Chain A
Amino acid sequence: GQNIDQPTEMTATEGAIVQINCTYQTSGFNGLFWYQQHAGEAPTFLSYNVLDGLEEKGRFSSFLSRSKGYSYLLLKELQMKDSASYLCAVPNAGNNRKLIWGLGTSLAVNP
């Protein structure tokens, strides 16, 4: 089957670094997405990884290991506004026009 696992909740301190993990099982791989979603708002696109390694975008970086079925989102210099849910998603192997979504990791950034 196809599945995504993420921790349900995480807590971190303003100014710190936090790593949000995502493991996936899929019979074929066509990339991995990370989205940020503030409570009651729409998800917004953060990153897309299709090759192994780390991709950096300002304070946010995303890492992928296809052999391990593993990705993480790294958030540096945390700010209060980073308190949100972070969603991991991969295209469905049988129909890559559909995404399989994780349930999201709710991150709370404390002062």
Chain B
Amino acid sequence: EAQVTQNPRYLITVTGKKLTVTCSQNMNHEYMSWYRQDPGLGLRQIYYSMNVEVTDKGDVPEGYKVSRKEKRNFPLILESPSPNQTSLYFCASSLSGGTGGSGYTFGSGTRLTVV
């Protein structure tokens, strides 16, 4: 089944404790992206990647890091999480990013709480 797999689904952590949210896709998509979604603010892009070793900042990259060492994996790293990073996070992949009719396939989401 074609899918984007995110882990974990839920995570509660403490301020300053480094964490990684994993994302993997099995569709051979070149484009991958991370979003956070907050009430009243909608989906905001954190980082995106056009291909292996090619990453770029989205609209809200501060406090986050990403890497794209393999085509299928695009982990999101929070080096020192803070409470304002409490949010619902989505990984997404696509054949061609914002163009083309294929759209994005989203992972199931990770609900992160930083206390």
Contacts and interface: CB of A to CB of B under 8 A. Distances in A.
Interface string A64-87: 000000000000000000000001
Interface string A16-42: 000000000000001101010000111
Interface stretch (B11-19, B41-49, B67-75): B41-49
B74 to A, nearest CB: 14
The DSSP consensus for interface residues of chain B is: loop
Contacts of B44: 101
B42 A98 contact: no
A10 interface: no
Contacts of B98: 30-31, 91-92, 95-99
Contacts of B103: 33, 35, 45, 48
Contacts, number: 66
B48 A98 contact: yes
A91 B107 contact: no
Contacts of A30: 98-99
Interface of B: 31, 40-45, 48, 50, 58-59, 88, 90, 97-109, 111
